[in-house]
Structure 1
């Protein structure tokens, strides 16, 4: 990640709000509606954050909007960004978001079956 590019994009209005809100998959339109951001700005910010690797898009995970068009869903790819200002350099370190293989609802179902199940 280019530190200057990351800092520049994080400093743009709405980018931090989009990252905060994208803890679960959402389309650029949903982010626009939820955060009261102009839709064109939402798409630009989402695309820039996606290119930096701070948001991930799941081409297989799409939803259909009101017009019936397929919409890509985006989710925050990082849980933490650390910026270090060294004497001659700026360093950016990101911590990837923890991803579980199994959705929480599925884990709960498995646990529920184990408690009082047919043992």
Structure 2
């Protein structure tokens, strides 16, 4: 997945601020359909996290945040090894972040 330019662009953009699919589409210069496909794949792999942006006008929408913090590729004695580190957020932190967004 990380060899895909759109997936990398989405992760980079979503690592700065949580963004909606529309915002990611504009920021990454990719079609909304492409962004939604990559969002599905990245979320399934645990590299991207979805949350709901609750608004006072009742118009709630999903935003996405990158959880990937580090990707390591090593070559040793003719063999490649990879390590992926993702940030995990517990329920209390997620609730706090959601509450602060209100």
- Asked if TM exceeds 0.5, the reply is yes
Larger radius of gyration: 1
The TM-score, its normalising length taken from structure 1, stands at: 0.60
Q: Deviation string for 1:52-75 (max 9, x for gaps)? A: 1110112xx2357xxx5x431110
Mark the runs of 5 or more structure 2 residues left unpaired by the alignment.
none
Task: After the TM superposition, list the runs of 4 or more consecutive aligned residues in structure 1 that deviate by more than 4 angstroms.
Answer: 85-90
Indicate if the aligned counterparts of 1:63 and 1:73 stay in contact, CA closer than 8 A: no
- Number of aligned residues: 90
The equivalent residue for 2:10 is 18
Task: Give secondary structure in 1 for the equivalent of 2:71.
Answer: strand
The TM-score, its normalising length taken from structure 2, stands at: 0.68
RMSD of aligned alpha carbons: 2.8
Partner residue of 1:79 out of 51, 61, 69:
69
- Aligned positions of 1:12-51 closer than 5 A: 12-23=4-15, 24-51=17-44
